[in-house]
Amino acid sequence: MKKMCFRIAALALLAVVLAGSAFAAQVLVPVGQAVGLALETDGLTVAGFDEELGQGAKTAGLKPGDVIIQADGQPVTHAEALRALTQRAKEQIVLTVLRNGCEENLTVPLQSDGANKRLGVLVREGITGVGTVTYYDPSTGAFGALGHGVGDGQGTLLPLHSGKVLAAEVASVKKGRVGTPGQLMGAFQETEQIGELCKNTPCGVFGTSASGWSGIALPVAETEQMHTGPAVILSNVSGTQVQEYSVEILKLYPGEKACGRNMLLHVTDPELLEATGGIVQGMSGSPILQDGRIIGAVTHVLVNDPTTGYGIFIENMLEAAA
Protein backbone atom coordinates (compact mmCIF):
# COMPACT_ATOMS: atom_id res chain seq x y z
CA MET A 1 0.00 0.00 0.00
CA LYS A 2 1.32 3.40 -0.92
CA LYS A 3 1.93 5.55 2.14
CA MET A 4 0.02 8.83 2.02
CA CYS A 5 1.59 11.69 3.98
CA PHE A 6 -0.61 14.65 4.76
CA ARG A 7 0.35 17.92 6.34
CA ILE A 8 -2.09 19.33 8.89
CA ALA A 9 -2.59 23.08 8.78
CA ALA A 10 -4.89 25.63 10.35
CA LEU A 11 -7.22 27.27 7.89
CA ALA A 12 -6.17 30.69 9.13
CA LEU A 13 -6.31 32.51 5.84
CA LEU A 14 -9.26 34.68 6.86
CA ALA A 15 -8.97 38.27 8.04
CA VAL A 16 -10.36 39.21 11.48
CA VAL A 17 -11.71 42.76 12.15
CA LEU A 18 -13.34 44.54 15.15
CA ALA A 19 -21.29 52.07 -11.38
CA GLY A 20 -21.72 49.06 -13.85
CA SER A 21 -19.14 46.29 -14.02
CA ALA A 22 -16.94 45.57 -17.02
CA PHE A 23 -17.17 41.88 -16.05
CA ALA A 24 -20.97 41.67 -16.02
CA ALA A 25 -21.17 39.47 -19.12
CA GLN A 26 -18.62 37.00 -17.78
CA VAL A 27 -19.68 33.60 -16.49
CA LEU A 28 -17.62 31.67 -13.94
CA VAL A 29 -17.92 28.46 -11.94
CA PRO A 30 -18.47 29.25 -8.24
CA VAL A 31 -16.29 26.76 -6.34
CA GLY A 32 -16.23 26.91 -2.51
CA GLN A 33 -13.62 24.12 -2.29
CA ALA A 34 -10.87 24.10 0.36
CA VAL A 35 -7.34 23.82 -1.04
CA GLY A 36 -3.79 23.98 0.27
CA LEU A 37 -1.98 27.20 -0.62
CA ALA A 38 1.82 27.17 -0.49
CA LEU A 39 3.33 30.60 -1.15
CA GLU A 40 7.05 31.02 -1.80
CA THR A 41 8.20 34.59 -1.15
CA ASP A 42 10.94 36.77 -2.58
CA GLY A 43 13.16 36.58 0.49
CA LEU A 44 12.73 35.52 4.11
CA THR A 45 10.13 36.99 6.44
CA VAL A 46 11.29 37.95 9.93
CA ALA A 47 9.04 36.06 12.35
CA GLY A 48 10.76 36.93 15.64
CA PHE A 49 14.02 37.10 17.58
CA ASP A 50 16.08 34.79 19.75
CA GLU A 51 15.75 35.95 23.36
CA GLU A 52 19.51 35.86 24.01
CA LEU A 53 21.05 36.57 20.60
CA GLY A 54 18.49 38.81 18.93
CA GLN A 55 19.01 42.09 20.77
CA GLY A 56 21.58 43.37 18.26
CA ALA A 57 19.18 42.81 15.35
CA LYS A 58 16.40 44.61 17.22
CA THR A 59 18.68 47.57 18.01
CA ALA A 60 19.72 47.74 14.34
CA GLY A 61 16.07 48.29 13.45
CA LEU A 62 14.99 44.89 12.16
CA LYS A 63 11.29 44.26 12.81
CA PRO A 64 8.90 41.28 12.59
CA GLY A 65 7.32 41.29 9.15
CA ASP A 66 10.42 42.64 7.39
CA VAL A 67 11.31 40.57 4.33
CA ILE A 68 15.07 39.99 3.98
CA ILE A 69 15.90 39.98 0.27
CA GLN A 70 19.70 40.47 0.36
CA ALA A 71 22.63 39.99 2.74
CA ASP A 72 25.82 41.92 1.97
CA GLY A 73 24.46 42.52 -1.52
CA GLN A 74 23.79 38.85 -2.27
CA PRO A 75 20.24 37.60 -2.98
CA VAL A 76 18.63 35.60 -0.18
CA THR A 77 16.10 33.04 -1.37
CA HIS A 78 16.14 30.54 1.49
CA ALA A 79 17.33 30.20 5.08
CA GLU A 80 20.44 28.20 4.19
CA ALA A 81 21.69 31.01 1.94
CA LEU A 82 21.28 33.54 4.76
CA ARG A 83 23.08 31.19 7.15
CA ALA A 84 26.01 30.77 4.77
CA LEU A 85 26.36 34.53 4.19
CA THR A 86 26.23 35.13 7.93
CA GLN A 87 29.11 32.71 8.51
CA ARG A 88 31.11 34.40 5.74
CA ALA A 89 30.67 37.91 7.20
CA LYS A 90 32.94 39.41 9.84
CA GLU A 91 31.47 41.29 12.78
CA GLN A 92 28.37 42.63 11.06
CA ILE A 93 26.22 42.09 8.00
CA VAL A 94 24.16 44.49 5.87
CA LEU A 95 20.63 43.23 5.33
CA THR A 96 18.39 44.66 2.61
CA VAL A 97 14.78 44.35 3.71
CA LEU A 98 11.38 45.12 2.24
CA ARG A 99 9.15 47.07 4.59
CA ASN A 100 5.83 48.57 3.53
CA GLY A 101 6.84 48.11 -0.10
CA CYS A 102 10.15 50.01 0.28
CA GLU A 103 13.72 48.71 0.44
CA GLU A 104 15.90 49.58 3.43
CA ASN A 105 19.48 48.63 4.35
CA LEU A 106 20.20 47.70 7.97
CA THR A 107 23.64 47.00 9.43
CA VAL A 108 23.19 44.17 11.93
CA PRO A 109 25.92 43.10 14.38
CA LEU A 110 26.57 39.36 14.51
CA GLN A 111 26.54 37.35 17.71
CA SER A 112 28.77 34.42 18.61
CA ASP A 113 27.27 31.02 19.38
CA GLY A 114 30.35 28.93 20.01
CA ALA A 115 32.03 28.37 16.63
CA ASN A 116 29.12 29.90 14.70
CA LYS A 117 28.00 33.43 13.97
CA ARG A 118 24.38 34.18 14.57
CA LEU A 119 21.92 36.90 13.64
CA GLY A 120 19.55 35.88 16.42
CA VAL A 121 16.64 36.20 13.99
CA LEU A 122 13.83 33.71 13.39
CA VAL A 123 12.81 33.67 9.72
CA ARG A 124 10.03 32.05 7.74
CA GLU A 125 10.34 30.72 4.20
CA GLY A 126 7.01 31.59 2.62
CA ILE A 127 3.73 30.51 4.17
CA THR A 128 1.48 27.47 3.85
CA GLY A 129 -2.16 27.14 4.82
CA VAL A 130 -5.56 26.16 3.56
CA GLY A 131 -8.07 28.52 1.98
CA THR A 132 -11.17 28.48 -0.21
CA VAL A 133 -11.37 28.86 -3.99
CA THR A 134 -13.96 31.43 -5.02
CA TYR A 135 -14.29 30.98 -8.77
CA TYR A 136 -12.86 29.08 -11.74
CA ASP A 137 -12.92 30.02 -15.42
CA PRO A 138 -12.96 26.79 -17.50
CA SER A 139 -12.15 28.71 -20.67
CA THR A 140 -8.80 29.98 -19.37
CA GLY A 141 -8.02 27.83 -16.32
CA ALA A 142 -7.85 30.97 -14.16
CA PHE A 143 -9.12 30.98 -10.58
CA GLY A 144 -9.35 33.32 -7.60
CA ALA A 145 -9.32 32.49 -3.89
CA LEU A 146 -9.54 34.04 -0.39
CA GLY A 147 -10.90 37.47 -1.39
CA HIS A 148 -8.03 39.10 0.52
CA GLY A 149 -4.27 38.90 0.35
CA VAL A 150 -1.83 36.81 2.37
CA GLY A 151 0.15 39.08 4.67
CA ASP A 152 3.05 38.96 7.07
CA GLY A 153 0.92 39.48 10.18
CA GLN A 154 1.90 43.16 10.30
CA GLY A 155 -0.46 44.38 7.58
CA THR A 156 1.96 44.02 4.65
CA LEU A 157 1.38 41.68 1.70
CA LEU A 158 3.95 38.93 1.28
CA PRO A 159 5.86 39.39 -2.00
CA LEU A 160 4.97 36.28 -3.98
CA HIS A 161 7.75 34.58 -5.94
CA SER A 162 5.78 31.45 -6.82
CA GLY A 163 3.16 29.22 -5.28
CA LYS A 164 1.32 25.93 -5.48
CA VAL A 165 -2.29 24.87 -5.05
CA LEU A 166 -2.70 21.48 -3.37
CA ALA A 167 -5.65 19.13 -2.91
CA ALA A 168 -7.03 19.39 0.65
CA GLU A 169 -9.81 18.29 2.95
CA VAL A 170 -11.29 19.73 6.14
CA ALA A 171 -10.37 17.52 9.09
CA SER A 172 -12.01 19.30 12.06
CA VAL A 173 -13.71 22.50 13.21
CA LYS A 174 -13.16 24.80 16.17
CA LYS A 175 -16.45 26.66 16.57
CA GLY A 176 -16.44 30.43 16.71
CA ARG A 177 -17.51 32.18 19.90
CA VAL A 178 -17.93 35.81 20.91
CA GLY A 179 -14.43 37.25 21.29
CA THR A 180 -12.72 34.17 19.80
CA PRO A 181 -12.89 33.48 16.07
CA GLY A 182 -13.39 29.86 15.12
CA GLN A 183 -11.14 27.89 12.82
CA LEU A 184 -11.19 25.04 10.36
CA MET A 185 -8.34 22.53 10.39
CA GLY A 186 -7.32 21.09 7.05
CA ALA A 187 -5.14 18.30 5.75
CA PHE A 188 -3.36 18.51 2.42
CA GLN A 189 -0.97 16.32 0.54
CA GLU A 190 2.08 18.38 -0.46
CA THR A 191 2.80 16.23 -3.51
CA GLU A 192 -0.71 16.51 -5.01
CA GLN A 193 -0.46 19.81 -6.87
CA ILE A 194 -3.56 20.94 -8.76
CA GLY A 195 -2.59 24.47 -9.73
CA GLU A 196 -0.15 27.34 -9.56
CA LEU A 197 -0.32 30.75 -7.90
CA CYS A 198 0.84 33.85 -9.75
CA LYS A 199 -0.60 36.82 -7.80
CA ASN A 200 -1.01 37.84 -4.16
CA THR A 201 -3.11 41.03 -4.01
CA PRO A 202 -5.21 42.86 -1.38
CA CYS A 203 -8.30 41.43 -3.14
CA GLY A 204 -7.24 37.77 -3.22
CA VAL A 205 -4.73 35.28 -4.53
CA PHE A 206 -4.93 34.19 -8.16
CA GLY A 207 -3.53 31.50 -10.40
CA THR A 208 -4.28 28.79 -12.92
CA SER A 209 -5.32 25.16 -12.74
CA ALA A 210 -5.37 22.69 -15.62
CA SER A 211 -7.73 20.27 -13.86
CA GLY A 212 -9.88 22.98 -12.29
CA TRP A 213 -13.21 22.46 -10.53
CA SER A 214 -16.50 21.29 -11.95
CA GLY A 215 -19.82 23.04 -11.58
CA ILE A 216 -22.44 25.13 -13.31
CA ALA A 217 -21.10 28.46 -14.54
CA LEU A 218 -23.06 31.51 -13.36
CA PRO A 219 -22.99 35.13 -14.53
CA VAL A 220 -21.01 37.75 -12.62
CA ALA A 221 -23.34 40.30 -11.01
CA GLU A 222 -23.23 44.00 -11.72
CA THR A 223 -23.23 46.23 -8.65
CA GLU A 224 -26.78 47.45 -9.31
CA GLN A 225 -28.01 43.82 -9.43
CA MET A 226 -26.96 43.17 -5.84
CA HIS A 227 -29.32 43.94 -2.98
CA THR A 228 -29.85 43.36 0.70
CA GLY A 229 -31.77 40.26 1.67
CA PRO A 230 -31.38 36.48 1.25
CA ALA A 231 -28.32 34.98 -0.42
CA VAL A 232 -26.27 31.78 -0.13
CA ILE A 233 -22.61 30.89 0.23
CA LEU A 234 -20.81 27.78 -0.99
CA SER A 235 -18.40 26.44 1.59
CA ASN A 236 -16.42 23.31 2.49
CA VAL A 237 -16.52 22.78 6.27
CA SER A 238 -16.23 18.99 6.38
CA GLY A 239 -14.09 16.60 4.35
CA THR A 240 -14.19 17.64 0.69
CA GLN A 241 -17.93 18.29 0.52
CA VAL A 242 -19.02 21.71 -0.73
CA GLN A 243 -22.45 22.71 0.52
CA GLU A 244 -24.82 25.63 0.08
CA TYR A 245 -25.69 27.65 3.21
CA SER A 246 -28.14 30.50 3.64
CA VAL A 247 -27.02 34.00 4.64
CA GLU A 248 -28.56 37.47 4.77
CA ILE A 249 -26.93 40.47 3.10
CA LEU A 250 -27.36 43.24 5.67
CA LYS A 251 -25.62 46.18 3.95
CA LEU A 252 -23.91 46.99 0.67
CA TYR A 253 -21.16 49.54 0.24
CA PRO A 254 -21.17 50.14 -3.55
CA GLY A 255 -18.86 53.16 -3.39
CA GLU A 256 -16.31 51.40 -1.21
CA LYS A 257 -13.29 50.16 -3.15
CA ALA A 258 -11.43 48.84 -0.10
CA CYS A 259 -10.87 45.15 -0.73
CA GLY A 260 -12.74 42.81 1.56
CA ARG A 261 -15.36 45.15 3.04
CA ASN A 262 -17.89 45.70 0.27
CA MET A 263 -20.85 44.02 1.98
CA LEU A 264 -21.97 42.99 5.45
CA LEU A 265 -23.53 39.55 5.77
CA HIS A 266 -25.09 37.43 8.51
CA VAL A 267 -25.23 33.62 8.63
CA THR A 268 -28.80 32.34 8.99
CA ASP A 269 -28.33 28.67 8.11
CA PRO A 270 -29.00 26.45 11.20
CA GLU A 271 -26.72 23.66 9.93
CA LEU A 272 -23.75 25.98 9.43
CA LEU A 273 -24.34 27.69 12.77
CA GLU A 274 -24.37 24.28 14.47
CA ALA A 275 -21.21 23.14 12.68
CA THR A 276 -19.04 26.25 12.93
CA GLY A 277 -20.84 28.90 14.99
CA GLY A 278 -20.94 31.13 11.90
CA ILE A 279 -18.04 32.44 9.85
CA VAL A 280 -14.69 30.96 10.86
CA GLN A 281 -11.11 31.25 9.75
CA GLY A 282 -10.74 29.12 6.65
CA MET A 283 -14.07 30.04 5.05
CA SER A 284 -12.41 33.07 3.49
CA GLY A 285 -13.06 32.93 -0.25
CA SER A 286 -16.40 31.12 -0.03
CA PRO A 287 -18.42 32.45 -3.00
CA ILE A 288 -21.60 34.43 -2.31
CA LEU A 289 -24.51 33.84 -4.69
CA GLN A 290 -27.71 35.81 -5.09
CA ASP A 291 -30.48 35.52 -7.70
CA GLY A 292 -28.46 33.03 -9.75
CA ARG A 293 -25.39 35.29 -9.96
CA ILE A 294 -21.97 35.42 -8.29
CA ILE A 295 -21.83 38.61 -6.24
CA GLY A 296 -18.70 38.14 -4.13
CA ALA A 297 -16.81 36.13 -1.53
CA VAL A 298 -16.64 35.91 2.26
CA THR A 299 -13.53 37.65 3.62
CA HIS A 300 -13.78 38.65 7.28
CA VAL A 301 -15.43 37.62 10.53
CA LEU A 302 -16.38 40.02 13.30
CA VAL A 303 -14.62 39.07 16.53
CA ASN A 304 -17.58 40.02 18.72
CA ASP A 305 -20.18 38.33 16.51
CA PRO A 306 -19.02 35.18 14.70
CA THR A 307 -22.37 34.95 12.87
CA THR A 308 -21.56 38.17 11.00
CA GLY A 309 -18.76 39.25 8.67
CA TYR A 310 -17.77 41.06 5.51
CA GLY A 311 -17.50 40.11 1.86
CA ILE A 312 -15.82 41.47 -1.24
CA PHE A 313 -17.58 42.24 -4.54
CA ILE A 314 -16.66 39.73 -7.23
CA GLU A 315 -15.90 42.60 -9.63
CA ASN A 316 -13.13 43.81 -7.30
CA MET A 317 -11.56 40.35 -7.29
CA LEU A 318 -11.69 40.20 -11.09
CA GLU A 319 -10.13 43.65 -11.42
CA ALA A 320 -7.26 42.57 -9.14
CA ALA A 321 -6.78 39.36 -11.15
CA ALA A 322 -6.58 41.17 -14.51
Between strands 287-290 and 293-302, the pairing is antiparallel
- Integer Cα distance of 31 and 252 in angstroms: 23
Q: Which of 179, 146, 110 is nearest to 36 (CA)?
A: 146
C-beta separation of 129 from 13 below 8 A? yes
C-beta separation of 319 from 290 below 8 A? no
Q: Which helix (H) or strand (E) holds 83?
A: helix 79-88
- Integer Cα distance of 261 and 252 in angstroms: 9
Active site (annotated) includes residue 305: no
- Integer Cα distance of 168 and 322 in angstroms: 27
Q: Give residues with Cβ within 8 angstroms of 243, minimum separation 6.
A: 234, 235, 236, 237, 271
- Integer Cα distance of 110 and 116 in angstroms: 10
DSSP-derived letter for residue 156 is: -
Active site (annotated) includes residue 269: yes
Q: Which of 66, 269, 286, 300 is catalytic?
A: 269
Q: Which of 209, 284, 286, 300 is catalytic?
A: 284
Q: Which of 66, 137, 148, 286 is catalytic?
A: 148
Active site (annotated) includes residue 284: yes
Catalytic residues: 148, 269, 284
